[in-house]
Amino acid sequence: MTTPTIERETERGTVLYAVEQPDTPWVTIVWNDPVNLQTYVTYVFKSYFGHSREEAERLMLLVHHEGRAVVASGGREEMERHVEAMHDYGLWATLAKDDA
Amino acid sequence: MIPFTRHGVLVIVRLSDLEAEVLRDLAGQLTELLGDRATTHEAPTDAGSAAALFAQLGIGGSTVAPLDPALARLLPDAYKNDLSASSEHRRLTEGGLVDRKIAHARLVVASLTSSPITLDEAAAQSWLRTLTDLRLTIASRLRIIDDGDEGTGDEALLDVYDWLGYLQGTLLDAIE
């Protein structure tokens, strides 16, 4: 999804690349916690990210069973906004570089 | 009696006097807990400084995660293994996050004084978030760490914790 963008940005040269590119692939990760209700986590994914019920439930179950799930990817600032929004909802979320 | 029922665009809340009192008390305590955090980085008195300007703009808060485990869970690091990025993110965003959480809890307290209690969409959001923050705080006090964990086993506190979960579940049912 992001590979062509990276190559294009790289070809622009080192000066441009040294600046944080808005489409550098970052991800928002939601971590499992023993507190939040499954229905609430599903509701947050549905209402905040606009996911369908099916997709929201799939992500919720991924968090529950795997301990974490990537719920969004994109530029760093956008992921920071998502993380802040998740913290508003009381979900435990972090952001990281996609390759991290 | 189901505590939340949908009536058109509004949610009607039915709580006993005791339940309303418990919730008002808990939301008040949450406001105090968060308020402690808000005042740990009060605006500097030197009005001309850059820090004062940042404070005016609502940024320039604490850079260190709270020591209190409940506060640390309510206001988590934004990066898992990057302390300096977490500090910078916290400095820029924590003040706003704390203010919003306090505003939601205060709205819950205020709505509990009306009769009957009716919630519009925004108020219902405040209730959902405050119920979450209360459960996170109590779970931290109970030292609940894993799924299905009963922590210290303090039964009175566990009852409150479960009751708050029941409230949140039925509020979600009413909203959706």
CATH number at residue A53: 3.30.1390.10
Predicted confidence (pLDDT) per residue in A13-52, tens digit? 443 444 455 556 999 999 999 999 999 999 999 999 999 9
* Cβ-based contacts under 8 A for chains A and B: 75
Predicted confidence (pLDDT) per residue in B127-164, tens digit? 999 999 999 999 999 999 888 888 888 999 999 999 99
A45 located within any domain: yes
Give chain A's contact residues with B (Cβ, < 8 Å).
Answer: 29, 32-37, 39-40, 43, 64, 80, 83-84, 87-90, 92-96, 100
A93 located within any domain: yes
A66 located within any domain: yes
Q: Which of A44, A88, A95, A97 to mutate to test the interface with B (most CBs of B within 10 A)?
A: A88
| Mean pLDDT, rounded, of chain A | 83
Q: Which residue has the higher pLDDT, A3 or B8?
A: B8
In angstroms, the CA A74 to CA A25 distance is 5
Burial class (CB in 10 A: 0-12, 13-18, 19+), A29: buried
DSSP codes of every residue in B86-138: HHHHHHHHHHHHHHHHHHHHHHHHHHTTSSSEEE-HHHHHHHHHHHHHHHHHH
Residue A27 structural domain:
23-97
What global pTM score does this model have?
0.85
Predicted-complex ipTM score: 0.88
Closest partner residue to A96 (CB to CB) among B79, B100, B147 is B79
Q: Cβ–Cβ contacts within 10 Å for residue A60, how many?
A: 26
- The total number of structural domains in chain A stands at 1
Closest partner residue to A34 (CB to CB) among B76, B132, B139 is B139
A8 located within any domain: no
